[in-house]
């Protein structure tokens, strides 16, 4: 029999655990700031309601109705659709290999934070001392011990959880990780908003800039953030919902998961910009000068700010990087589970074997990113996935389900039967019309950008 979640809360925590990740903490605040600040909330909310939640409902319903990993669920939906599931699994596989590496960095940095051992030149420390990019090219292939050791730890935790199964592994881990994450992050945000200059940062973050509100770029950014942030079209949500009991309420769960993820995103925006406001004030410059996102924000700018925080700055730094670790691990577990589950279904093998082969292989490949040329590889992999993976896979799945295999009506019927909250025509319009247009536009743009 297929494994099952122990409780409804367990499933929701796992779905939220997958959704809440690095994207919430270092991607959202900067994307929002760059795309109109307070004004960005309109396209963002629109994207959440017209694409994010409808797609979550679709994926939850597919998983729950067809009760299989993504390839098996798509195959049961229609024999000709199995490859869509494999495509999503393949994307997840690639992402897992480099997502794990970034969690490993965060693990190292949570230790460095305690003694501020990154020193004054935080950029030089990251690229030179930590990642060892400044060595001669002949050394490119050799492992960097500082990254290798935490990376092994990350995989031990992730695969250990997956060996233990859905209820005793994934559910239990998220029951511990997510509350811990929320508490740590609340402490960070409370400290952040009480810093000198916090108000200036929050003002920069929330101040609406209406001038760009009608430009397509802003809307694409909003939809892009929502897709990435909700882990949509990565086979994850189908896999997780395939472990739901037959009568579980999918529609409501999608709303809860969607809003929880956005709530965390907002919290992160407040924390990050309060801290940036502090930094701008200390440096006598504007928030615009110090605002950043991604790896640069987390591993260069934040360590620099942590250096100059008043009182207990080591603890603050530790909490920040530990939050990245917990948020990242719960997302990593969810992506690896997509291919573990797919291997189990396809080859009729045990969970143990699937974790050993699938998880083991991605762990091995991830070692490539722990070498002295690792950062370039990581950049290339991320670029490749973003150009040809995410939007295109999302587009294909939604067009296939709604137009090609005409599954919106049967899926809606199923979803409404098991749920208190019923979806109406709006749901079909979102999936059949709005989402394909947006995803189509994004997919074409990504490809054009990556060629030119
Ligand atoms: N949704 C996660 C985030 O916002 O950080 C990111 C993510 C997790 C992307 C898992 C992809 C994935 F497979
Ligand atoms: Na997210």
- Confidence at residue 373, expressed as pLDDT on a 0 to 100 scale: 78
pLDDT of 310-335, one tens digit each? 989 999 999 999 999 999 999 999 99
Q: Which residue has the tokens 């969607």?
A: 258
Ligand nearest to the CA of 330: 1
What is the pLDDT at residue 388? 66
Residue 445 pLDDT greater than 90, yes or no: no
Contact yes or no for 268/28 (Cβ under 8 A): yes
pLDDT-derived band at 270, boundaries 50, 70, 90: very high
User: Which residue minimizes the CA distance to atom 8 of ligand 1?
Assistant: 331
pLDDT in tens, 75-96: 999 999 999 999 999 999 999 9
The C-alpha torsion from 52 through 76 and 251 to 54, rounded to 10°, is 20
pTM for this prediction:
0.95
In percent, the amount of the chain with pLDDT more than 90 equals 85
Terminal CA-CA length for the chain: 50
Q: What pLDDT score was predicted for residue 162? A: 98
Cα–ligand 2 centroid distance for 178 (angstroms) = 13
Closest ligand 1 atom to residue 261 Cα is 4
With H, G, I as helix, E, B as strand and everything else as coil, classify residue 208. Answer: strand
Which has more pLDDT, 214 or 382? 214
Taking the C-alpha atoms of residue 278 and residue 65, their distance in angstroms, rounded to an integer, is 50
Closest ligand 1 atom, residue 236 Cα: 13
Give the contacts of 437 (CB within 8 A, at least 6 positions apart): none
More confident residue, 217 or 240: 240
Burial 88-104 (b: 16+ CB within 10 A, else e): bbbbbbbbbbbbbbbbb
**Pocket of ligand 1, candidates 14, 17, 18: which has the most ligand atoms within 8 Å of its Cβ, to mutate?**
18
Site to substitute for ligand 1 among 14, 20, 21, most atoms within 8 A of C-beta? 21
294 or 399, which is more confident? 399
pLDDT at 150 exceeding the cut of 90:
yes
Domain ranges of the chain: 8-451
Q: What confidence tier does 447 reach under pLDDT thresholds 50, 70, 90?
A: confident
Tally of CB atoms within 10 A around 169: 21
Instruction: Give the residue among 204, 179, 146, 202 at the shortest CA–CA distance from 371.
Output: 146
Place of tokens 């795309």: 35
- Which class is domain 8-451? mainly alpha
> Angle at CA 27, nearest 5°, toward 26 and 29?
80
ipTM entry = 0.95
Question: How many whole angstroms separate alpha carbon 270 and alpha carbon 68?
Answer: 39
Distance 70 CA to ligand 1 centre (A): 17
CA distance 57 to 419: 11
- Among the ranges given (169-173, 383-387, 445-449), the one the predictor scored with the smallest mean pLDDT: 383-387
Percent of the chain scored above 70 by pLDDT? 98
More confident residue, 272 or 378: 272
Ligand 1, atom 13: closest residue by C-alpha: 335
| Burial class, 190, CB count within 10 angstroms (exposed 0-12 / middle 13-18 / buried 19+) | exposed
Closest of 387, 383, 386 to residue 375, by C-alpha: 383
Average pLDDT of the residues of the chain: 94
Instruction: Give me the mean pLDDT over the 265-284 stretch.
Output: 96
Joined tokens for residue 15: 């779905």
Distance (angstroms) between ligand 1 centre and the Cα of 21 equals 6
Residue nearest to atom 9 of ligand 1 (CA): 231
C-alpha span between 123 and 145 (Å, rounded): 19
For residue 140, the 8-state DSSP code is T
Lowest mean per-residue pLDDT among 121-130, 171-180, 384-393: 384-393
User: Does residue 254 surpass a pLDDT of 70?
Assistant: yes
């Amino acid at each position: 029999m297929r494994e099952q979640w122990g409780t409804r809360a367990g499933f929701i925590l796992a779905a939220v655990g997958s959704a809440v990740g690095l994207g919430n903490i270092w991607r959202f605040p900067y994307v929002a700031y760059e795309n109109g600040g307070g004004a960005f909330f309109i396209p963002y909310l629109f994207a959440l309601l017209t694409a994010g939640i409808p797609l979550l409902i679709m994926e939850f319903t597919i998983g729950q109705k067809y009760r299989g990993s993504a390839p098996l669920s798509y195959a049961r939906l229609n024999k000709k659709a199995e490859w869509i599931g494999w495509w999503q699994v393949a994307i997840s596989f690639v992402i897992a290999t480099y997502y794990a590496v970034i969690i490993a960095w965060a693990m190292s940095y949570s230790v460095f934070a305690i003694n501020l051992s990154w020193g004054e030149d935080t950029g030089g420390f990251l690229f030179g001392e930590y990642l060892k990019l400044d060595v001669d090219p002949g050394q490119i292939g050799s492992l960097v011990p500082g990254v290798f050791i935490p990376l092994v730890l990350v995989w031990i935790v992730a695969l250990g959880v997956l060996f233990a199964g859905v209820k005793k592994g994934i559910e239990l881990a998220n029951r511990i990780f997510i509350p811990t994450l929320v508490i740590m992050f609340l402490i960070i945000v409370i400290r952040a908003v009480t810093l000198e200059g916090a108000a200036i940062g929050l003002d920069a973050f929330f101040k609406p800039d209406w001038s760009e509100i009608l430009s397509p770029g802003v809307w694409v950014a909003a939809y892009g953030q929502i897709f990435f942030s909700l882990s949509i079209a990565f086979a994850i949500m189908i896999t997780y919902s395939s472990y739901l009991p037959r009568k579980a309420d999918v529609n409501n769960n999608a709303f809860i998961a969607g809003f929880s993820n956005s709530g965390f995103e907002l919290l992160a925006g407040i924390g990050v910009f309060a801290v940036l406001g502090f930094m701008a004030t200390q440096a006598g410059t504007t928030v615009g000068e110090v605002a950043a996102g991604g790896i640069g924000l987390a591993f260069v700018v934040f360590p620099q700010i942590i250096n100059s925080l008043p009182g207990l700055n080591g603890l603050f730094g530790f909490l920040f990087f530990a939050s990245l670790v917990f948020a990242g691990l719960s997302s990593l577990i969810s992506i690896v589970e997509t291919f573990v589950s797919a291997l189990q279904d396809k080859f009729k093998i045990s969970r143990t074997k699937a974790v050993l082969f699938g998880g083991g292989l991605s762990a091995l490949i991830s070692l490539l990113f722990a070498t002295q040329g690792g950062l370039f590889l990581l950049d290339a992999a991320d670029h490749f996935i973003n150009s040809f993976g995410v939007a295109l896979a999302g587009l294909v799945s939604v067009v296939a389900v709604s137009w090609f295999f005409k599954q919106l009506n049967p899926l809606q019927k199923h979803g409404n039967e098991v749920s208190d909250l019923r979806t109406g025509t709006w749901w079909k319009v979102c999936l059949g019309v709005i989402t394909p247009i947006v995803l189509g536009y994004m997919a074409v743009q990504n490809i054009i950008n990556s060629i030119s």
